[in-house]
Chains A and B, each alone.
Chain A
Amino acid sequence: GENVEQHPSTLSVQEGDSAVIKCTYSDSASNYFPWYKQELGKRPQLIIDIRSNVGEKKDQRIAVTLNKTAKHFSLHITETQPEDSAVYFCALTGGGNKLTFGTGTQLKVEL
């Protein structure tokens, strides 16, 4: 099945700084790349997604970029706020009907 590596596993930034999380994958058939945010004790929730025919997508302070040639995609959060503190998961689907998740990044936004 698909394999996805996520880095870093923990990330600490100062409020107002930017945060970048990167995921790499191996299956060139992968075509859907969502990002989920999970607050402590809560369920994962979709924050943004991108499909393989698009290179970048933005939604306010959040953006995702996709490099199909290099097989990596990244989440960018600008002007970070304390409420951005959470675990972020990248995920992807390929030719099958399975959604594969990365191992997660614990983001901490410090005041």
Chain B
Amino acid sequence: NAGVTQTPKFQVLKTGQSMTLQCAQDMNHEYMSWYRQDPGMGLRLIHYSVGAGITDQGEVPNGYNVSRSTTEDFPLRLLSAAPSQTSVYFCASSYGGANTEAFFGQGTRLTVV
């Protein structure tokens, strides 16, 4: 099992550009989520999904879109990148929802200039 795989590991965008961060898991987990990590602020929930076809907003959803067409994949789209979206992004999955162990991907370090 590869676990949770995120791509790319690093990305530099210009303000206004759009891009998609990819996340895939091979553990057949129903629950997947996206977090951003900023210094001194911990991990903040952007969006989450409890299963294919179902998504919901987290704490900081503005400027991001998600979709969940399959159990395995949960891409995160930045619609029009802003410098405030410079951060490290983590995707996570868990078997039984938010009340069970979250398995994280290796992270994507995004810089918006």
**What total count of A-B pairs have CB within 8 Å?**
56
Query: Would you list which residues of chain A between 47 and 102 have a CB under 8 Å from chain B?
Result: 49, 89, 93, 96-102
Interface of B is mostly: mixed
Select from chain A the residue with minimum beta-carbon distance to B43: A101
Contact B42 A103 (CB under 8 A): yes
Jot down 13 A-B pairs with beta carbons below 8 A, ordered by A.
Answer: A32-B99, A32-B100, A36-B102, A43-B90, A43-B104, A43-B105, A89-B43, A98-B45, A98-B48, A98-B59, A101-B35, A101-B43, A103-B40
Q: Which of chain A's residues have a CB closer than 8 A to the CB of B106?
A: 42-43
Classify chain B: how many residues form its interface, as a range: 20 to 34
Asked if B44 is an interface residue, CB under 8 A from chain A, the answer is yes
Q: Which residues on A are within 8 Å of B, measured CB to CB? A: 1, 6, 9, 31-32, 34, 36, 42-46, 49, 89, 93, 96-104
Q: Which 9 A-B pairs have the closest CB atoms?
A: A43-B104, A101-B42, A32-B99, A101-B43, A103-B42, A93-B98, A99-B98, A97-B98, A46-B101
Q: Which of chain B's residues have a CB closer than 8 A to the CB of A43?
A: 90, 104-107
Select from chain A the residue with minimum beta-carbon distance to B35: A101
Q: Which of chain A's residues have a CB closer than 8 A to the CB of B99?
A: 31-32, 93
Query: Would you list which residues of chain B between 7 and 62 have a CB under 8 Å from chain A?
Result: 31, 33, 35, 40-45, 48, 50, 56, 58-59
| Docked complex Cα distance between A100 and B98 (Å) | 9
Contact B59 A1 (CB under 8 A): yes
Query: Would you list which residues of chain B between 64 and 113 have a CB under 8 Å from chain A?
Result: 90, 97-102, 104-107
